[in-house]
Amino acid sequence: MTSALELRAVHKSFGKTAIINGVDLSITKGERHAIIGPNGAGKSTLFNLISGRFPLTAGEIHLHGRNVTGMAPQEINRRGLGRSFQITNIFPRMTVYENLRCAVLWSLGYRYAFWKRVNALSDACEKADEMVHRLGLSKRRERLAGVLSYAEQRALEIGVTIAGGADVILLDEPTAGMSHTETEQAVQLIHSVTQGKTLIMVEHDMSVVFGLADRISVLVYGKVLACDAPTAIRANPAVQEAYLGAMEH
Amino acid sequence: MSELAASRAQSFKAPTLLSAKRAALWIATAAVMAVLPLLFKQSFAISLLSQMGIQVIFALSYNMLLGQTGLLSFGHAVYYGLGAYVCAHALNAVAANTFGVPVTLLPLIGGVTGLAFGIVFGFVSTKRSGTPFAMISLGIAEMVAACALMFPGFFGGEGGIPTNRMVGEKILGVSYGPQIQVYYLIAAWCLVCMIAMFALTQTPLGRMANAVRDNPERAKFVGYNPTHVRFLMLCLASFFAGIAGGLATINYEIVTAENVGVAVSGNVLIMAFVGGIGSFYGPIIGAILISFLQSALSAYTQAWLLYFGLFFVVMILFAPGGIASLITLHGPTWKARLMGRLIPSYARAAVALVILLAGLVMLVEMVYHLKAGGGEGAGFSILGLLLEPEKSSAWLMGLGVFALGAVLTAWSTRAVRRTWQAIAAELQMREAS
């Protein structure tokens, strides 16, 4: 069986500074995978490489067994990869509903059509509405995304990421800056909307990581230090030294 | 699940309901356009109305870029002007019997011309957005303006290309000789273009244009190429600008290099901005108001450009969202039936503003009068008031009125603000309960 996402000897340098130093990673279909590591380890850079936002310096990335190295972000997205951002990245001057409808248009094949009425596209409207409901934003449906609360914007960000039906989902610190209760709700949301999909997330909150992930990769100085099940990661002395131990202080 | 069902039901009922309302709105618009020349019969008024119709199309097409796609263009007149030029040549060819097209459909040639140049220039310019796009659009505008002087064969040099719209066969007795017939031609095209441009906002491309305006990065990660969205929007905007240009050819029967110039590009920006780029109807208001101000003010005073500039600056300072945003701002108050409360403070502010404006006009006109050196020693009068700029008393009076106006304005706007705060508090209370 081919993996959902495979990274082969991925390198990335900015000028002379090497940020990613040869990452090999294979993520199986349906897996929930967390990437942890200290600040500056290159977690967000790795996401930017996978999603096509930055070009690779060397190496290859395969999505569903197909080489997507060097493709533009929209091309990778069309092949089934959705991503969220660490800093909320939505359409602020559009309503919650419009945000989600825009997120489903391409996947339903409407492309750049300027001869179809968007309100008459029942499948797009239905999908957007369903997503509004699943995100728990029904009461905010007609609000502009830019005026939502932070937690609501984060939920919408996840919604926009997955609404198009992507089956490989990259979430970059989905619970950063949230209160305890907000985090719990976010975890529930992530759990429910990624059912049957492949999830890769960068996360700092260890309770979230250990609660959600099937496997964890520890990224240190642009290299995968360890990649294993949560219990094994917790018990790994190298990881403890490099990362978890440091967190206790 | 019942909530979901309810929200679904809501989403499917909404569009049909709204479009019935919209159909009524379009019919009303058509009726107003049909009746206007019957109410204002002077030839001056018919010319002005024709001008307004052309500018409404032009301003709306501009807002497809600025308001809807977030593209600030300093060169939109390129598509308008080139559309106008090609139409002038087409008309002349019809007159020379080398080409056949009914005058009624001539604007379509302008549109296709605009579209063709939109494809060429858009391919280059939409590779960038933001400031680089604005700079490229300015460069293209300068380039085309330079070509207008370099190729007198096509652009007609300084004299431009004169033409005659009374060519081809009359259809149902319509010769387009009388201005009123031209007005109705413009009105019909204006209505069709308005509906088409509105419909465009309701399509997948229209919505994704908004998305690209808001956040091109995110647009990529929902599968869209922002460059393609910008390119398509620019092509379509150029098409409508070309139609406006074609109508201008028929209306003025001459096309000069000014039509492709940066001044016209600046003017359409001002129309869209003053009207409000945040809503569909904003540029319509802007085009009508600015066209009116330009022809009305220029008929009364030499200083009209100064007033015009001042008006623009004041609008940008105090209503950056344009006139449409001022209307939108009053929506909740109107719905809550609290407009009555605003009227007294608005009335006071209006009086204060009129006094301020009167003082300003007196001073400006006296300066212009002195500079122009009009009638030795004699004064001039505004609305029956004799002003003698060579006497210091006139200046003292002007300054006095201006100062009084300034004080009253400061005082009355404070009252307006207080009323607004009270209404906002009340609206909040109502929402809470």
Q: How far apart are CA B278 and CA B214, in angstroms?
A: 12
Residue A135 at interface with chain B, using a CB cutoff of 8 Å: no
pLDDT exceeds cutoff 60 at B13? no
Whether ipTM > 0.90 holds is yes
The verdict on a CB contact (< 8 Å) between B203 and A115 is yes
User: Which residue does chain B place closest to A162, by CA atoms?
Assistant: B222
Q: Under 8 Å CB-to-CB from A85, ≥6 apart: which residues?
A: A157, A172
Tell me, yes or no, if the pTM score tops 0.90: yes
Q: Cite the beta strand spans of B71-208 per DSSP E.
A: 161-162
Give the three-class secondary structure for B134.
Answer: helix
CA–CA min distance B200, chain A (Å): 6
> Please, which pLDDT band fits residue B12 given cuts at 50, 70 and 90?
very low
Residue A108 at interface with chain B, using a CB cutoff of 8 Å: no
What's residue B149's pLDDT? 87
- Judging contacts by C-beta atoms under 8 Å, the chain A residues touching residue B23 are none
Q: Summarize pLDDT for A126-147 with one digit per residue, the tens.
A: 999 999 999 999 999 999 999 9
What's residue A249's pLDDT? 42
* Average pLDDT, rounded, for chain A: 93
| Number of A–B residue contacts, CB under 8 Å | 120
With 0-12 CB in 10 A as exposed, 13-18 as middle and 19+ as buried, what is B292? middle
* Averaged pLDDT, B123-131: 94
- Judging contacts by C-beta atoms under 8 Å, the chain A residues touching residue B232 are 112, 114
The verdict on a CB contact (< 8 Å) between B208 and A130 is no
Tell me the percentage of chain B whose pLDDT exceeds 90: 72
The two tokens of residue A82 are: 């959705």
For chain A, counts of helices (H) and of strands (E): 10, 10
What's residue A238's pLDDT? 86
Q: Cite the beta strand spans of B218-264 per DSSP E.
A: 254-255
Q: Summarize pLDDT for B137-174 with one digit per residue, the tens.
A: 999 999 999 999 899 999 998 899 999 998 877 777 78
Q: Summarize pLDDT for A42-72 with one digit per residue, the tens.
A: 999 999 999 999 999 999 999 999 999 999 9
Q: Summarize pLDDT for B238-285 with one digit per residue, the tens.
A: 999 999 999 999 999 999 999 999 999 999 999 999 999 999 999 999
Question: Is there a contact between B49 and B210 (Cβ–Cβ < 8 Å)?
Answer: no
Closest CA to A214 of A204, A225, A192, A199: A199
* Averaged pLDDT, B104-125: 97
Residue A133 at interface with chain B, using a CB cutoff of 8 Å: yes
- Judging contacts by C-beta atoms under 8 Å, the chain A residues touching residue B199 are 117
The two tokens of residue A223 are: 């290299």
Give me the sheet containing A168-172, strands edge to edge: A81-83, A168-172, A198-202, A32-36, A215-220, A223-228
Q: Which residues of B touch A (CB under 8 A)?
A: 3-4, 7-8, 11-12, 14-15, 18, 199-200, 202-208, 210-211, 213-215, 217-225, 228-229, 232, 236
What's residue B367's pLDDT? 87
> Please, which pLDDT band fits residue B349 given cuts at 50, 70 and 90?
very high
What's residue B157's pLDDT? 87
Of A73, A98, A111, the CB nearest to B221: A73
Nearest 5°: CA angle at B308, between B306 and B313?
95
Of A83, A113, A161, the CB nearest to B203: A113
Q: How far apart are CA B346 and CA B328, in angstroms?
A: 17
Residue A112 at interface with chain B, using a CB cutoff of 8 Å: yes
Q: What is the DSSP letter of B260?
A: G
Instruction: Give, to the nearest 10 degrees, the angle between helix B226-252 and helix B204-214.
Output: 110
pLDDT exceeds cutoff 60 at A22? yes
* Averaged pLDDT, A98-124: 96
Q: How far apart are CA B419 and CA A179, in angstroms?
A: 38
Residue A73 at interface with chain B, using a CB cutoff of 8 Å: yes
The verdict on a CB contact (< 8 Å) between B221 and A114 is no
- Judging contacts by C-beta atoms under 8 Å, the chain A residues touching residue B213 are 93
Residue A11: phi, psi to the nearest 5?
A: -120, 145
